[in-house]
A and B are shown apart, each in its own frame.
Chain A
Amino acid sequence: MSELPMSELVVRDLQRSFGGVQAVGGVSFTLRSGDLLALIGPNGAGKSTCFNLLNGQLRPDSGSVRLDGTELVGLPPRRIWALGVGRTFQITATFASMTVAENVQMVLLSRARRLFGLWRPAAAQFREPALALLDRVGMAAQADRPCGVLAYGDVKRVELAMALASEPAVLLMDEPTAGMAPAERLALMALTAELVRERGLAVLFTEHDMDAVFGHATRVLVLDRGRLIAEGSPEQVRADPRVQSVYLGGEA
C-alpha cells in the first residue's frame, strides 16, 4: 500500500448560541486520517449544528477549526470544500434535474475549475472518472438515470460518490444511513469503513442507528445539550454510565 497523505482536523472550543440557547457549547476534538469518528447524542443535542459549523454553513460565536493548520472559521462552504472538507447531508441534496453520472461530473468539473466553460458539452467531460466513482459505491448501473427518481438509499450512495469526487481529506457525513433498510445501512457503513482504510480518509459521521455506530466507528463522541460528555472507543463509550443515563433517560 502506498503512503497516504496524513491530515488532521483540529476543533477547539466551538461555541454557537441561537437567541440565548446554547446549541453547541465548547466542543473540542481532533480528527485524523484513518479515523471513522461517530458523533452521537439524543435529538437536539447539537449534532447538526456542529456539522454546519464545521463546513461553514453557520459561523461559530467562538472557537477554531483548523485543517492541517489552516483556519476554516469564517470561510464560506465552497472555500472549505476546496480546502478538502467534503460533506453529505442529512436530508439528501443532489441535483435532481441531472443524471446520476452528471451529478458526479459536476463535482469533478468544479474541482478542475472548469465550470465556467461555455462551449464544450458538460455531459462528455469527466464521464469516465465519474463512472469509476459510481462503480466504487455500486451505482454504475444506474449512471444514466435521473437523480430525481432514485430510491432513497441510492441517492445516499450517489452523495457519497459526489463527496469522494472532490478527493477530500476530511469527510463529514450527516446521518449517512437515515431512512435506509437495515441491510443497506450495514452495507453503506462497511463501504465507508473500507474507503477510510483505502484512501486514508478522516470521516466524522452522525448516526442514530447504534448498530452502525458500534459496528464500524473507530472512536465515538457523545454530545448532550451542546457539550461533549464522553469520548473514546466504542466499548468505553458503551460502558460509560453518563452515556447510558442520557440514552436511557435517567438522572445524570
Chain B
Amino acid sequence: MSFLLVQALSGLATAATLFLVSSGLTIVFGVTRIVNFAHGSFYMVGAYAGWSLIERFGGTPAGFWGSVAAAALAMGVLGAAMEIGLLRRLYRSPELFQLLGTFGVVLVVQDLTAWAWGPEDLLGRRAPGLKGSIDILDQPFPLYDLVLIGLGPLVLGLLWLLFNRTRWGTLVRAATQDREMTSALGVDPTRLFTGVLFLGCALAGLGGALQVPREAVTLQMDVAIVVEAFVVVVVGGMGSLTGAFLASLLIGQLQAFGILVFPQITLVIVFLFMAVVLVLRPHGLLGRAEEVPPTAPATVTVPLSAGRHAGVWALALLAVMAAAPLVAGDYALILLTEVVILALFAASLHLLIGLGGLVSFGHAAWFGMGAYGSALLVKHLDAPMPLALAGAPVLAGLGALVAGWFCVRRSGLYFAMLTLAFAQIVWSIAFQWYAVTGGDNGILGVWPSAWAAGKAAYYWLTLALCGGALWLLRRAAFAPFGYALRAGRDSGLRAESVGIDVRRFQWMAFVLAGTAAGLAGGLYAFAKGSVFPTLLAVPQSVDALVMVLMGGIQTIAGPLAGAAVFHLLESEVMSMTDWWRLVLGLIIIALVLVFPKGIVGFLSGFRRRA
C-alpha cells in the first residue's frame, strides 16, 4: 500500500516537470500555431545553464533558487531571440517547414551545447535544505520531489492569474482564439509573439534547471523531453493549459505504474495512450475543435508534370548508373548503393507529402521496420537473403496498414504527431525488447547471399529493385490513384462531393509508402550488414524530410536529387567535421528559409526566368 503511494507520488513529481515543459509548448503553439521542436532544447540548455550556476552559487537556498530562476530567464531571452530570428519568417509557411526549421535549431543547439559543456554527463549538487527524504508510511521519499509536486499546481495557478488577470494575458488568450481578430484590435502581434516565446521557453528552462538535483544533465535530454511534451500537449488538447496539466498527471502516473507492470514497454504504453485518446477524442482531452490548426494554405497551383522527355532521361540515367561499376571503385559503389536506397526512401515519403499533402514525421518507422524485418528473419529464422528481402516490404506494409488506419483519421499537425508517435512506438520496441532485437546493440551479421556479396553485384541488385519500385511509384503518381490523392489534398470538400473517399486513398498511400520504405530498409540492412534502433529514430525521419525538401516537393524527380545531394553531403562533408549536427542544422534552416522549393524547383524556376 505504502509502496503504491510512493510510486504515485513519484509519478506526480514526473508530472510536475512534464507540465512545466509542456505548458510552455502549448502556450507557444496556441498563439503562434507552431509546434516548436526546439522546445526541448531550451529545457536541455536550461539544465546545463542551471548546472553551471548552481555549481557556483547553489550552496545556499537563495543561491540555488536564484540560479534556477536565472537559468529560466536566460532561456526566455534565447526563446525570444529565436522568435525574432527564425519563427517570425515561418508563420505563414506550411507546417512541414515550421517543424523542420525548429528541428534545425535542435541540431544546432546540440552541437553548441556539446561545445560549451563537453560531451560528458554532468551531475549537479542537491538542493540545499532539501537533501534528505521523509518517510511516508515507512517508505522514504525525497524532499525535493515533494517540492516539485507542489510546484506544478503553483505554476498552473500563476499562469492562470497571468492569463486571466492581466491585460497581456488577455491579449494572449484572444490571440489563441483568433489571430486575425487580435491584429484587428490594434495589438502589435509581433511583440506579443516575442513575449509568448519568452514565456514558453522560460518555462522549458525552468523545467530543465529544476532537474539538476534529480538526474544527470545529458545531451540526449532535449529530444526525449520534447517528444514526451508533444504527447502531453496532443493528449491534453493543443493550446489548452489545463489540458496539459491533466495530461501530465495522467502520463506521470502511467509511467510510474507502467514501469512496475511492463518495465520493457513503458514508452509504448505512453504512445499507445496518445493514439487511443486521439481516436476517441480527436481534439485531445480538453481541446476544442476550433483549436485545430488550419493547415497552412499550401495551395498548389502548379500541375504536377513529368517534365518533357522524362522517360528518355530516366532511361539514360539508369544506363549511366548501371555502368557505374565499370569505372567506380568499391567505396564509390557503396556510396552509390546507399544513394539509390535513400532515393527510394525519399520517394516513398514524397508520395505522402507531395501528392497527399500528408506530412509524416515518422517515416523512418517503415524504413526501420523493413531493415529490422530482414535482420530478424536472418538472425532468428536463418532466412536466405531473397526471403528476408521479400519480408521487409511485407512487414513494413503491414505495420503501415495498422498505423495508417489511425493516422489518416487526422490531418495536418495531428497527422504529423500521430506518425511521430507510431515511429516512437516502433523505436522503443526495438530499443527496449532486448531479447529479440538486441536493444541498443542492434543486430549484426546481416550479410547478402554469396551471389550478391560483391559490391558491384549488390549494387546492381539494389539498382534493379529500387529502380523498379521507383518506376511503380511514378506510374501510381500519374495514374488515377495519384490524382485522387492530390484531389483530396487540393480540396477535400470537393473530392468528397464527387465521390472520392479521401481517407481511403490516404490510407492506401500510407500503406504503399510504407511498403516502399520497407523495401529500402531491407536493402539498407544488407548493405550495412547490421541494423540499429537509430534507423527508426526521429533523426532518420527528419533526414527523409530533408531529402524531400532539398529536392523540392512539387517535382517527381525531386526526391531522387535530394537523396543524392543529402547523402553526399552527409558522407563527404559532414564526416569531415565533428560538428556535423551544426552543419546539418544550418543547412536545414537555410533550406526552409531560402530554398523552399528545393533544388529541382529552384533550377526549373531559374530556367523559366532565363
In the complex, which residues of chain A have a beta carbon less than 8 angstroms from the beta carbon of B303? 97-99, 102, 146
Q: Once the chains bind, are A98 and B498 in contact (CB under 8 Å)?
A: no
**Chain A residue at minimum C-beta to C-beta distance from B498:** A107
**Complex contacts, A81 vs chain B, CB 8 Å:** 497-499
- Residues of chain B within 8 A (CB-CB) of A77 are 496-497
Whether B131 is near chain A, meaning CB under 8 Å from some CB there, is no
Q: Which of B486-522 contact A (CB under 8 A)?
A: 486-487, 489-491, 493-501, 505, 508
B575 within 8 A of A: no
Any A CB within 8 A of the CB of B159 = no
A95: B residues at CB distance < 8 A: 486-487, 490-491, 494-495
Q: Judging by beta carbons under 8 Å apart, are B490 and A118 in contact?
A: no
Instruction: List, in ascending order, chain B residues with CB within 8 A of A120's CB.
Output: 479-480
Residues of A within 8 A of B257 (CB): none
A49 within 8 A of B: no
Give the chain B neighbours of A96 by CB distance below 8 A: 299-301, 490-491
Q: How far, in angstroms, from A106 to B493 measured CA to CA in the complex?
A: 14
Contacts of A86 in B (CB 8 A): 497
A87 at the binding interface (Cβ < 8 Å): yes
- Check A122 for interface membership: any CB of B closer than 8 A: yes
Is the beta-carbon distance between B301 and A55 smaller than 8 angstroms?
no
Residues of A within 8 A of B482 (CB): 122
Number of residues in A with C-beta < 8 Å to the partner?
A: 40
A78 to B487, CA, bound (A): 14
Q: Which of B301, B479, B489, B495 contacts A148 (CB 8 A)?
A: B301
Q: Is the CB of A119 within 8 A of B491?
A: no
Distance in angstroms between the alpha carbons of A115 and B483 in the assembled complex: 8
Q: Does A192 contact B (CB under 8 A)?
A: no
- A141–B369 Cα gap in the complex (Å)? 50
Say yes or no: is B475 at the interface (Cβ < 8 Å to chain A). yes
Given contacts A97-B486, A106-B487, A149-B301, A78 and B478 within 8 Å (CB-CB): no
- Type the 1/0 row for B460-488, where 1 means its CB is closer than 8 Å to any CB of A: 00000000000010011011111110110
Collect the chain B residues with CB atoms within 8 Å of residue A57's CB: 493, 497
Q: Which residues of A58-103 have CB atoms within 8 Å of chain B's CB atoms?
A: 76-78, 81-82, 86-87, 89, 93-99, 102
Q: How far is the CB of A160 from chain B (nearest CB, A)?
A: 13
Q: B497 near A78 (CB under 8 angstroms)?
A: yes
Complex-state Cα separation, A89 to B478, whole angstroms:
27
A116–B300 CB distance below 8 A: no
C-alpha spacing A121/B88, complex, angstroms: 42
Interface centre among B487, B499, B500, by most A CB within 10 Å?
B499
Q: Quick one: which of A93, A107, A117, A121 contacts B491, CB cutoff 8 A?
A: A93
Name the distance in Å between B604's Cβ and chain A's nearest Cβ. Answer: 15
| Contact indicator per residue, chain B 530-547, by CB within 8 Å of chain A (1) or not (0) | 000000000000000000
Of the residues B301, B476, B478, B481, contact of A97 by C-beta under 8 Å: B301
A111 CB within 8 Å of chain B:
yes
Q: Within the complex, which residue of B472, B483, B501 is in contact with A78, where a contact is CB–CB below 8 Å?
A: B501
Question: From residue 290 to 321 of chain B, which have CB atoms closer than 8 A to chain A?
Answer: 299-304
Contact A122 B500 (CB under 8 A): no
> How far is it, in angstroms, between the C-alpha of A89 and the C-alpha of B476 when the chains are bound?
30
Q: Are A117 and B480 in contact (CB under 8 A)?
A: yes
Compute how far the CA of A102 lies from the CA of B482 in the bound complex, rounded to whole angstroms.
Answer: 12
Given contacts A117-B481, A119-B475, A119-B479, contact A148 B299 (CB under 8 A): yes
Q: A48 at the A/B interface (Cβ < 8 Å)?
A: no
Give the residues in chain A near B484, CB-CB below 8 Å.
106, 109-110, 115-116
Write out the residue numbers on chain B whose beta carbons fall within 8 Å of the beta carbon of A89.
Answer: 493-494, 497
A118-B479 contact given A95-B487, A97-B300, CB 8 Å threshold: yes
- Contact: B480 with A109, CB < 8 Å? yes
In the bound complex, what is the Cα–Cα distance between A97 and B472 (angstroms)?
22
Q: Which residues of A contact B299 (CB under 8 A)?
A: 96, 148
CB distance from A141 to the nearest CB of B (A): 17
Which residues on B sit within 8 Å (CB–CB) of A97? Answer: 300-304, 486, 489-490
Given A78-B497, A109-B480, A111-B499, residue A118 in contact with residue B491 (CB < 8 A): no
Contacts of B479 in A (CB 8 A): 117-122
Closest to B303 in A: A146
* Interface flags, B579-591, vs A, CB<8A=1, else 0: 0000000000000
Most buried by B among A89, A110, A125: A110
Q: What CA separation (Å) do A93 and B481 show in the bound complex?
A: 20
B480–A122 touching, CB < 8 Å:
yes
Given contacts A93-B491, A95-B491, A96-B300, contact A122 B483 (CB under 8 A): yes
Contacts of B480 in A (CB 8 A): 106, 109, 114-117, 120, 122, 125
The 5 closest A-B pairs by CB, nearest first: A148-B301, A93-B494, A95-B490, A97-B300, A110-B499
24 A-B Cβ contacts within 8 A?
A: A76-B496, A78-B498, A89-B493, A89-B494, A93-B493, A93-B494, A94-B490, A95-B495, A96-B300, A96-B491, A102-B303, A106-B483, A106-B487, A110-B484, A115-B480, A115-B483, A115-B500, A119-B476, A122-B479, A122-B483, A148-B299, A148-B300, A148-B302, A166-B498
